Structure 1
Amino acid sequence: MSIHDELERIAARAPEVVVPADMWARARRARRRDRLGVVAAVVAVLAVAGTLAWLPTRDGLEPVDGRTLGVPNRLWAVPERMSDRENDDSWMRDEVSSQLDVGTAAAAWTTPGGLPVVVGAADGAYHLLDLPDFGGNNFLLNYGLGGSPVALSPDGLRLAYAYAHFGPDAATEPIPSGVRVLDLEEGSVTDHPILGAEGTAVGTLTWSSDGRWLGWTGERYTSWTESSTGSASPFAGRIDLTTGSVDQMRIGEPSAMTVAIAADGVLSIVGNDRMVRWDGERREARRLRGFWSGRGVVTADGSIAAGIDSELAVQLLDRRLKVSTIDASGELNPVAGGTATVLGITADRLVVRTSTLDSSDGALLLLERDGISATVAAVDADVPDTLTLATDLMTTERPTVDRPEPDWPTDWGRVLTIGGWILVGAAALALLAWTVLLRTRRSPYSSPGARRPVP
């Protein structure tokens, strides 16, 4: 028997295989389902990964030795959403607290939205405070009149702030206003009213190096309500925190002005081409050329130091009214320039905050008169120029301490927004994949046996 005959015999005995007519269509549908499943899985993975990538991480949160008081080696900005307000100007976030006994502080400032921030010296915790009658609580004071200051004492135990009480008689009676001093250990508040006309909106606060005196400047209004003001007259003064006495005097236009107060209570005001020294009774004025602005400090030899606006430099004015300039660029090399602000003195060195005019971080410097400086901390670019420090906590051996990054609550609105856009993108990808598959299915050349015409 030949091989051909044997193959015919085997074929005759083999069972008949019936191929369903729709097998090709079912196979094609199964393949399409597989493709859609792969696309859906990829889109789901991308959506989850993309959303998780935007969630805050908690890396680097380490235990802190609460027995060591110090200034953190990095100061972080507070997210803008923490300063959100209700329609009545009250703070919206639950993290803003009226519990004021937060302990010794290392730093304090107000956000652009007027919210007071206090950084704990023991643990680096960020406290958002609802200070009673704080001027920044009022929308007009914060956004229309340049904001209200807070100032941390050199030892970190007290926080001075400008206050204005808008009660039921605010439209017809003078506004009770002035300076309050908060004891951060006990949570108690002491009033130092500044009397005159319809009230005084304090705009600048500065401490003496020993913490006994407060210097201030402000505007006194001929009329003042919760939502409007009349004409203003500039005033300056000092507060003796030992006796509680408040002294004040009329000054010239407050633009481009540096205010500093010495440990002996002598208030110095530099600006408008003159220098004024005032001890509460005797006033001495002398002509002086030079641009001065912002806060100032009085050194041990009676010199006044203040930063130069829009320059990484510090001006030093000695008792003979001789002006010298000290470079304060430190390790910064900004392309667009920067600004230096003198925050205090420690171990005969100036504590200077430097910031750039771009979005890069600034620094804290310990600056000597010969220009030698040491960078001791980083400062987020978004930390405002209202920053004040407890400079007594900074020493030559340990100017700053390690502290963890603050753990702010998740911004679920932002997460949902980002997640929504990711889902929109995923839906668009799925629709695109479905469209491509439908076009493939409708092609006349997608069935078995179909042949494309040869041109």
Structure 2
Amino acid sequence: MSPHPPLKDLLEQAAETVPPADVPRDTWQRGRRRHRRSLALRAAAVVGVVALVAATPGLLDRATDRSAPQPAGSGASGPGLPDHLHAVPSHLAARGEDERWGHEEVSDDLAVGRAVAAWVTSAGLPVLVGAADGRYHLLDLPDFLLAGDLAISWFPGDQPPMALSPDGTRLAYAYAWPATDDGTVVPSGIRVLDLETGEVARDLALQGGTGVAVTQVSWSPDGAWLAWTGFETSYWTTTTLNGSRSRAGVAGPDGTRRAVEPGGSTYVDDDGAAIVLDGGSIEVQRSDGTTVARRGAAGTPELTGDGLLSPDGSRLVVGTAAGYDLVAIDLGRDRVETRSGGAQDWSARPLAWVGDAVLVQRTPPASGDEGLLSLVDVTGDAAVRDVGVLDGGESDNPHTGVGPLSVAADLVTEDQPTVTRPAPDWPWDPPSWAVPAAALAAALLLVAALAWAVVRRRRRSAQRPSAT
């Protein structure tokens, strides 16, 4: 026999000496309630944090380096025109009480580099798209003519007075100093901005009346000359702008400036000859002031006045309000060609010559619908080729879509008319009441959760039996 008792006997003897444990019957229920309370508190905390983060997305946005260029997307090879141009959200173009742009996304740093596309929003905000990276730049152009509500309300044309040079390195735009209440002269004219340095390279001051309001500006095919059209004002204050005397002219790279007998729109070739479109008639005015050609365009569809000279200056294509995509006019002889794109109710604006085709901005009749970038062959029967999409307006504001474009024509080629770029990462802005409302809701949730926990604890303490 073993000298030691079995382990089983020892355990039974030890158990007989231990007093029985008094476990309350509701121990399991109390444990479950405590676990549920813990889960509720955690859920309330998570809800509060999520609400605060959702209400203040700008904190995350400011933590991201949005100054870095956006990477080129697939299919991009060097600088090019994006195959999808995106509308600017209306909240980014809102003005403050001082009539200045209210969002930090709008910048007065004008050294944005080479651009490939430009337009002006319905609120008068200039937008430039980078040629190399497709990044969107919202610019606070100094004294831009359409920067105020008055200018937007009276502006008579569809194409804002702003144009990219063919190589995309310069931007020409109409300017006017702020008007006063007493109707004194408003300094006005055209500025040429160097997009690489952000400095004004040329300032073409225009004088007449109380100021000259420029309604159209365009470049010669080689980017050396500028043409402009506008009118001389008779009264220009902070609340009123009127005038009726038309003005037009051309300006050369050496400082040469020449007045042109005005028409509906004025264009200029590489030799400084002005091509004036007026009511369907074409007049070519040489640099010596003589008229070298006048060709009627009778029987053509209604012309919009948005024209484009061919690189050699021999042809002018003009967009139409409806009926045809383009009207092509041979400036050397009595010949007018029309080229239909099969969209009879769409308006069309020529943007760039691409070989024997023309890149056209096509706008649907319904405001807010998407537009198209299309290549239209003006010499043959090739089918119209769609190469890009333009955003329409927002559902509650259809006029906020991509407006009439100016493009850097040299960057649109036959091999690569458009390229793929990433969509812009627009910062989201909540309504002014959203942040405090969300913070208050989160605070109320936390307070309610804590109060519920305290009440439950007191109830359990009152129901717990006292020790005897």
TM-score, L = length of structure 1: 0.72
Does 2:277 align with 1:262? no
Instruction: Give 1:393 deviation, angstroms.
Output: 0.9
- For the Cα contact (< 8 Å) 2:209–2:234, is it kept in 1? yes
**Structure 1 portions without partners, runs of 5+:** 1-17, 252-256, 330-335, 432-455
Counterpart of 1:275, as a letter, is: S
Instruction: Give 1:128 deviation, angstroms.
Output: 1.9
- For the Cα contact (< 8 Å) 2:171–2:195, is it kept in 1? yes
Equivalent in the alignment of 2:422: 404
Whole-angstrom CA distance in 2 between matches of 1:130 and 1:43: 40
Equivalent in the alignment of 2:371: 362
Does 2:120 align with 1:106? no
When residues 421 and 146 of structure 1 are mapped into structure 2, their CA distance, relative to the original with a 3 A threshold, is: farther
- For the Cα contact (< 8 Å) 2:325–2:347, is it kept in 1? yes
Counterpart of 1:121, as a letter, is: A
Equivalent in the alignment of 1:131: 141
Which whole-Å deviations, capped at 9, do the CAs of 1:399-444 have from their partners, x for residues lacking one? 2333222222x3232497499589989x99xx9xxxxxxxxxxxxx
Whole-angstrom CA distance in 1 between matches of 2:262 and 2:265: 15
Which whole-Å deviations, capped at 9, do the CAs of 1:307-326 have from their partners, x for residues lacking one? 22255722223341424232
- For the Cα contact (< 8 Å) 1:194–1:246, is it kept in 2? no
Equivalent in the alignment of 1:377: 388
Counterpart of 1:401, as a letter, is: V
Whole-angstrom CA distance in 1 between matches of 2:25 and 2:322: 83
Whole-angstrom CA distance in 1 between matches of 2:342 and 2:368: 19
- For the Cα contact (< 8 Å) 1:223–1:231, is it kept in 2? yes
Between 1:64-73 and 1:351-360, the stretch displaced more is: 64-73
Does 2:97 align with 1:87? yes
Equivalent in the alignment of 2:283: 277
Whole-angstrom CA distance in 2 between matches of 1:163 and 1:80: 23
Equivalent in the alignment of 1:438: none
When residues 216 and 301 of structure 1 are mapped into structure 2, their CA distance, relative to the original with a 3 A threshold, is: closer
Instruction: Give 1:174 deviation, angstroms.
Output: 2.1
Counterpart of 1:190, as a letter, is: R
Which whole-Å deviations, capped at 9, do the CAs of 1:148-169 have from their partners, x for residues lacking one? 521001111111101112367x
Secondary structure of the residue aligned to 1:413 is: coil
Matched length:
410
When residues 242 and 224 of structure 1 are mapped into structure 2, their CA distance, relative to the original with a 3 A threshold, is: same
Whole-angstrom CA distance in 2 between matches of 1:224 and 1:235: 16
Between 1:287-296 and 1:105-114, the stretch displaced more is: 287-296
Equivalent in the alignment of 1:435: none
Secondary structure of the residue aligned to 2:209 is: coil
Instruction: Give 1:373 deviation, angstroms.
Output: 3.2
Whole-angstrom CA distance in 2 between matches of 1:310 and 1:31: 71
- For the Cα contact (< 8 Å) 1:179–1:192, is it kept in 2? yes
Whole-angstrom CA distance in 2 between matches of 1:114 and 1:325: 33
Between 1:61-70 and 1:107-116, the stretch displaced more is: 61-70
Equivalent in the alignment of 2:192: 181
Instruction: Give 1:183 deviation, angstroms.
Output: 1.6
When residues 32 and 88 of structure 1 are mapped into structure 2, their CA distance, relative to the original with a 3 A threshold, is: closer
When residues 270 and 316 of structure 1 are mapped into structure 2, their CA distance, relative to the original with a 3 A threshold, is: farther
Whole-angstrom CA distance in 2 between matches of 1:415 and 1:376: 40
Does 2:243 align with 1:235? no
- For the Cα contact (< 8 Å) 2:324–2:338, is it kept in 1? no
User: After superposition, where does 1:119-158 map in structure 2 within 5 Å?
Assistant: 119-146=129-156, 148-158=160-170
Equivalent in the alignment of 1:190: 202
Q: 1:78 aligns with which of 82, 88, 109?
A: 88
Q: 1:413 aligns with which of 397, 405, 430?
A: 430
Does 2:79 align with 1:69? yes
- For the Cα contact (< 8 Å) 1:361–1:380, is it kept in 2? yes
Between 1:193-202 and 1:143-152, the stretch displaced more is: 143-152
When residues 414 and 236 of structure 1 are mapped into structure 2, their CA distance, relative to the original with a 3 A threshold, is: same
Query: Relative contact order: is structure 1 or structure 2 higher (C-alpha 8 Å, sep ≥ 6)?
Result: 2
Counterpart of 1:325, as a letter, is: R
When residues 40 and 99 of structure 1 are mapped into structure 2, their CA distance, relative to the original with a 3 A threshold, is: closer
Equivalent in the alignment of 2:358: 350
Equivalent in the alignment of 2:409: 391
Whole-angstrom CA distance in 1 between matches of 2:223 and 2:35: 79
- For the Cα contact (< 8 Å) 1:152–1:388, is it kept in 2? yes
Secondary structure of the residue aligned to 1:381 is: coil
Which whole-Å deviations, capped at 9, do the CAs of 1:334-367 have from their partners, x for residues lacking one? xx95332211212232011223336443332222
Equivalent in the alignment of 1:327: 341
Whole-angstrom CA distance in 2 between matches of 1:337 and 1:37: 62
- For the Cα contact (< 8 Å) 1:155–1:391, is it kept in 2? yes
When residues 373 and 301 of structure 1 are mapped into structure 2, their CA distance, relative to the original with a 3 A threshold, is: farther
Whole-angstrom CA distance in 2 between matches of 1:64 and 1:366: 22
- For the Cα contact (< 8 Å) 2:227–2:251, is it kept in 1? yes
Q: Give the RMSD, CA atoms, in angstroms.
A: 4.6
Whole-angstrom CA distance in 2 between matches of 1:73 and 1:270: 33
Instruction: Give 1:205 deviation, angstroms.
Output: 1.7
Between 1:72-81 and 1:307-316, the stretch displaced more is: 307-316
Equivalent in the alignment of 1:445: none
Whole-angstrom CA distance in 1 between matches of 2:49 and 2:98: 44
Instruction: Give 1:396 deviation, angstroms.
Output: 1.7
Whole-angstrom CA distance in 2 between matches of 1:322 and 1:192: 35
Counterpart of 1:243, as a letter, is: G
Counterpart of 2:340, as a letter, is: I
Whole-angstrom CA distance in 2 between matches of 1:44 and 1:246: 68
Equivalent in the alignment of 1:341: 349
When residues 353 and 43 of structure 1 are mapped into structure 2, their CA distance, relative to the original with a 3 A threshold, is: same
Secondary structure of the residue aligned to 2:202 is: strand
- For the Cα contact (< 8 Å) 1:110–1:149, is it kept in 2? no
Percent identical residues:
33
When residues 242 and 71 of structure 1 are mapped into structure 2, their CA distance, relative to the original with a 3 A threshold, is: farther
Whole-angstrom CA distance in 2 between matches of 1:87 and 1:146: 26
When residues 73 and 222 of structure 1 are mapped into structure 2, their CA distance, relative to the original with a 3 A threshold, is: same
Between 1:373-382 and 1:119-128, the stretch displaced more is: 373-382
Instruction: Give 1:50 deviation, angstroms.
Output: 8.6
